[in-house]
Amino acid sequence: MAISVSQIPHGDPNVDQLYAETRDLRLNGFLLFMVSDLVLFSSIIFAYLYLRNSGQGWPPPGFSRLDVAFAAFNSVVLFGSGVTMHFALENWKHGNFIKFANWMVATIVLGAGFLSGQGYEYWTLYQKMHVSWSGSGIFGASFFTLTGMHGFHVFAGVIYLTVLLLQATNGKYTQHKHFGLTAGTLYWHFVDVIWVLLFSIFYLF
Amino acid sequence: MAVAAAPTHGGGVADHIHPEPHSFIRRYIFSIDHKIIGIQYIVTAFLFMVMGGLLAELIRVQLMNHSGTFVKPDTFNELYSIHGSTMVWLVIIPLLTGGFGNFVFPLQIGARDVAFPWLNMLSFWIFPVAGLMLYSSFLMGAPVAGWTEYPPMSLLGGPGTSMWAAAIFLIGVSSTLTGINFLVTILKMRAPGMTFTRMPLFVWGQLATAPLLMIATTALGAALAALFIERQFGVPFFDPTRGGSPVLWQHMFWFYSHPAVYIMILPAFGMISEIFPTFARKPIFGYKMIAFSTVAIALLSFMVWAHHMFTSGMAPFLQLPFMILTMFIAIPTGIKIFSWVATLWGGKIHLTTSMMFAIGFIATFTFGGLTGVYLSAVPFDLHAHGTYFIVAHLHYVLVGGSLMAIFAGMYFWYPKMSGRIMNEFWGKVHFWLFFIGFNATFIPMHWLGLLGMPRRVAVYDPQFQFWNQFASISSFVMTAGILVFFINAIVSLRTGKKAGANPWGARTLEWQISSPPPYYNFKKVPAVLAAPYDFAEPLPYRGLEGELDPNVPAPVAAGH
Amino acid sequence: MNILSIEHYLAIIGAIIVTVVAIIALKNDWKTPGLENQVFKVMLGLLALGGVLSFFAAIGVLGNFGGKA
């Protein structure tokens, strides 16, 4: 609805340029939210690296290295879900709802698969190697805090994507107005990319 | 260039007008109007300031006597811990960002509201809840390790320490949301024609502060979460007996809290930069340099945190860069000070209360800034660390800097908020009581600190007693000044002189509309042609003609 | 074929697929405008990096620091 924008004066090239740029602000807000979430992860990662380099070597005496092969498999599951999410949004933009829904379901299943994999890994660590959150010094503390925080993000993401799929099914979004889906995709990519970092610092280097 | 038609937008954009709120609750309690939220912040923060000030006076009463028997030592620890936490997180940061930020800068950029009004309301309502949580920790054994809560002391403190961590975490969430909101608003919702170099300097202050709020506060949130987890679930991060590191907390804490120092001063710099040109009737000197130095300080603030930790055991080769970077901060700060003095130079100075506080700000803040340069030097810091010299320094920058600017801003923007001017006579009484009381309280603390009186102790060596008594008595004078301010602010609501739209003859956009501004802010979003500080020129705005004309109708709310 | 090697092979194959698909998607999107698409491109690039890392982890090149597994 056109309301009360002043007459833009003539002759000043700066004047209406900024106004024309004004777009949907939610995207900017959401990106900034992701930045602050990244800082949250970075701080805990800093804490982990600080503790890891505080002297006794890593893994600390008495602990064995984490199971890299299984983690690689589980990581591939999560990274794959990022790719399927990308296809889901692409198909939505092209107006292909059936394919969108299929890729969304694939993403949600892969995300849930990653969570089960992580649950299996926790269970193995706890049962076979007696590594726990509070009882295993800084090793357990940093590992379970960081992966748990990430796992919580994945869990929230799986729920978020399910809600988005239901909303899309009920016709909340159109081919051109679908900020919710964009935000969901951004969030899911964010969770994947954080895992690239966590996977590297816990399992690889 | 053709006359632009009104651009069409999606949701939540610049010319979005809220419907007029009709019920009392929607208008004054759960309001989404940035002006009401700003005033809510200010009122709540001042209420917390009464609490924090009470704690401060209890501390001073205890220190009247070297063998202090007024409260038990443990209680004394609780007093200064909660006093510091209150003043930093519940008073100064909310006043400068949520309070004045919310009220003033959307008006100054010609916006109708912030980018996310509902988020703004959420930010506000988290704040009093978190404040009450912080005070509830008194009921269960409050934190005893100061506002910095260093482990291992904070791991040993009473259950209230966990409550403290939770409360400050919530405040952090509120700050982060505010930062996101402000940043998007300033970047995306400026009136047509308002380029970066045409923004008022207060907006520059908020623009530099918003990322600090967003990034630094989140880092603190991580530290607080780790402390909470360690205390409640026994997960070792900081406990050295279980492999953790107390120094890790100091890194995480100061990585936030040093930028937080600038969260508490950059908006204040912005306020001073508005007040000086207005009351000197002169363009601000060095607009671009002030704006640039604001951003430079914000960037530097992330690189200096370890100067709080020179005595915590860090490698000497790391001390040197932190020392030098810290000294660098004096450069942009000095640029500002000299620009302000040059603004006053040859100006036609109107000595209103607001202006007196602003001039007082320069004096005390420069003093506090200079002791800051002392403290950045490692050899001096090793001597002064943990003494009353630190207490004196931080109060000079936070009270003599931030709080003085807040008072200057209160006298300056109170007419815009309420439509009435605060009583000038009692304002000057407030200024002199506060200024003299403040300096007399904190100058002796420099001497006490250099003589070696440690901070955060309930009893002390008898040789320090005279200056402690002097400081305590002076602090009562300062408190009396603040009481005068509160009474003045309340009484002036009814009896103050009617302000009109622009009582100070200021030139930024908020003064060109009626006081208090209507819920939609501007009848027409104005176009901006230049920076606002040139008093020789006509006002650099177009489209404001009907603002004060009661015959021009209010704009119609879109959509809902 | 024991369970360990199945997991190895799946990881290797999956990592190759993810990397290749992410790179192709990145290439297809390379010229799309808009803020969100710039972010998507960065994310896709990092996903491809993640695929590469998982590949090297699965074939046992990376992840041999510190003590024994």
Q: Which of C5, C7, C27, C54 to mutate to test the interface with A (most CBs of A within 10 A)?
A: C54
Quote the CA–CA distance of A203 and C64 in Å, as a whole number: 9
Q: What is the pLDDT of residue A9?
A: 40
Q: Is the pLDDT of residue A36 over 90?
A: yes
* Chain A residues whose beta carbon lies within 8 Å of the beta carbon of residue B115: 25, 28-29
C-alpha angle A165-A171-A175 in degrees, rounded to nearest 5? 90
Q: Which residue has the tokens 């950029």?
A: B109
Q: Do A65 and C63 touch (CB under 8 A)?
A: yes
For residue B125, what is the domain's CATH number? 1.20.210.10
The reply to whether omega before B415 is within 30° of 0 (cis) is no
Q: Dihedral of the CA atoms B260, B266, B271, B276 (nearest 10)?
A: 140
Q: Do A76 and C11 touch (CB under 8 A)?
A: yes
User: In angstroms, what CA-CA distances link B342 with A111, B196, B287?
Assistant: 61, 23, 11
Q: What is the pLDDT of residue B426?
A: 97
Among candidates A46, A58, C26, which has minimal Cα distance to B237?
A46
Are C50 and A198 in contact, with CB atoms under 8 Å apart? Answer: no
Q: Do A64 and C68 touch (CB under 8 A)?
A: yes
Q: Do A6 and B527 touch (CB under 8 A)?
A: yes
For chain A, the three-class secondary structure string (H helix, E strand, C coil) is: CCCCECCCCCCCCCCCHHHHHCCCCHHHHHHHHHHHHHHHHHHHHHHHHHHHCCCCCCCCCCCCCCCHHHHHHHHHHHHHHHHHHHHHHHHHHCCCHHHHHHHHHHHHHHHHHHHHHHHHHHHHHHHHHCCCCCCCHHHHHHHHHHHHHHHHHHHHHHHHHHHHHHHHHCCCCCCCCCHHHHHHHHHHHHHHHHHHHHHHHHHHC
For A104, residues 6+ apart whose C-beta sits below 8 A from its C-beta are A85, A88, A161, A164, A165, A168
Chain A to chain C Cβ contacts (< 8 Å): 129
Does B touch C (3+ CB pairs < 8 Å)? no
Which band of pLDDT confidence, cut at 50, 70 and 90, is reported for residue B557?
low
Here the tokens at position B459 are 């009893």
The percentage of residues in chain A with a pLDDT greater than 90, rounded to a whole number, is 64
Are B98 and B124 in contact, with CB atoms under 8 Å apart? Answer: yes
**Is B559 inside any structural domain?**
no
Among candidates B193, B14, B19, B208, which has minimal Cα distance to B112?
B14
Q: Is the pLDDT of residue B1 over 60?
A: no
* Chain B residues whose beta carbon lies within 8 Å of the beta carbon of residue A46: 251-252
Among candidates A16, A10, A2, A6, which has minimal Cα distance to B552?
A6
DSSP state of B517: P
Bridge-based pairing of strands B497-498 and B541-542 is unpaired
Q: Is the pLDDT of residue B195 over 80?
A: yes
Q: At what angle do helices B73-85 and B34-62 cross, to 10 degrees?
A: 160
Interval A30-46 mean pLDDT: 94
Q: Which strand (E) or helix (H) includes residue B541?
A: strand B541-542
Are B513 and B479 in contact, with CB atoms under 8 Å apart? Answer: no
Q: What is the pLDDT of residue C3?
A: 58
Q: Is the pLDDT of residue B8 over 80?
A: no
Q: At what angle do helices B316-328 and B353-376 cross, to 10 degrees?
A: 160
Range of weakest confidence among A131-135, A147-151, B227-231, B493-497 = A131-135
What are φ and ψ of residue A110, in 5° steps?
Answer: -65, -40
Q: Is the pLDDT of residue B366 over 90?
A: yes
What are φ and ψ of residue A192, in 5° steps?
Answer: -60, -45
The reply to whether omega before B128 is within 30° of 0 (cis) is no
The reply to whether omega before B152 is within 30° of 0 (cis) is yes
Quote the CA–CA distance of B53 and B71 in Å, as a whole number: 17
CATH number of A67-204: 1.20.120.80
Q: Do C50 and A192 touch (CB under 8 A)?
A: yes
Cβ contacts of B340-344, under 8 Å, gap ≥ 24: B340/B272, B340/B273, B340/B276, B340/B285, B342/B285, B342/B286, B343/B276, B343/B277, B343/B280, B343/B282, B343/B283, B343/B284, B343/B285, B344/B276, B344/B280, B344/B282
Q: Do B237 and A1 touch (CB under 8 A)?
A: no
**Is B80 inside any structural domain?**
yes
* Burial profile B254-271: b = 16 or more Cβ within 10 angstroms, e = fewer: bbbbbbbbbbbbbbbbbb
B541 in contact with chain A, both atoms CB, cutoff 8 A: no
Classified as helix, coil or strand, B420 is: strand
* Chain C residues whose beta carbon lies within 8 Å of the beta carbon of residue A93: none
Q: Which residue has the tokens 């390379």?
A: C30
Q: What is the pLDDT of residue A86?
A: 95
Range of weakest confidence among A73-82, B18-27, B330-339, B381-390 = B18-27
Q: What is the pLDDT of residue B168?
A: 95
Interval B105-120 mean pLDDT: 92
Bridge-based pairing of strands B497-498 and B420-421 is antiparallel
Any bridge partners for residue B498, and if so which? B420
Nearest CA in chain A to C3: A70
Q: Which of A53, A196, A205 to mutate to test the interface with C (most CBs of C within 10 A)?
A: A196
What are φ and ψ of residue B421, in 5° steps?
Answer: -90, 140
Q: Do A133 and B235 touch (CB under 8 A)?
A: yes
Quote the CA–CA distance of B182 and B117 in Å, as a whole number: 11
User: In angstroms, what CA-CA distances link B27 with A169, B20, B518?
Assistant: 37, 8, 12
Does A touch B (3+ CB pairs < 8 Å)? yes
Q: Which residue has the higher pLDDT, B458 or C2?
A: B458
H helical segments located in C29-68: 35-58
Q: Is the pLDDT of residue B221 over 60?
A: yes
Q: What is the pLDDT of residues B331-343, one digit of tens each?
A: 999 999 999 999 9
Q: Is the pLDDT of residue B491 over 60?
A: yes
Give ipTM to 2 decimals: 0.89
**Is B19 inside any structural domain?**
no
Here the tokens at position B255 are 């990585």
Q: What is the pLDDT of residue B429?
A: 97
Q: Which strand (E) or helix (H) includes residue B498?
A: strand B497-498
pLDDT per residue as tens, chain C (69 positions): 455 678 888 999 999 999 999 999 999 989 888 888 999 999 999 999 999 999 999 888 887 775 544
**Is B396 inside any structural domain?**
yes
Range of weakest confidence among B85-94, B255-264, B464-473 = B255-264
Q: Which of A79, A131, A194, A196 to mutate to test the interface with C (most CBs of C within 10 A)?
A: A79
**Is B84 inside any structural domain?**
yes
Q: What is the pLDDT of residues B494-545, one digit of tens each?
A: 999 999 999 999 999 999 999 899 988 888 888 898 889 988 888 999 888 8
Quote the CA–CA distance of B422 and B385 in Å, as a whole number: 41
* Chain B residues whose beta carbon lies within 8 Å of the beta carbon of residue A36: 176, 179-180, 214-215, 217-218
Q: What is the pLDDT of residues A104-141, one digit of tens each?
A: 999 999 999 999 999 999 999 998 888 888 888 889 99
Range of weakest confidence among A6-10, B396-400, B549-553 = A6-10
Average pLDDT, chain A: 86
Q: Which of B116, B234, B524 is opposite residue A29, by nearest beta carbon? A: B116
Q: Is C59 exposed, middle or buried (0-12, 13-18, 19+ CB in 10 A)?
A: middle
Average pLDDT, chain B: 91
Among candidates B166, B165, C54, B290, which has minimal Cα distance to A114?
C54
Interval A147-161 mean pLDDT: 97
What's the structural domain count of chain B? 1
* Chain B residues whose beta carbon lies within 8 Å of the beta carbon of residue A49: none
Q: Do B13 and A2 touch (CB under 8 A)?
A: no
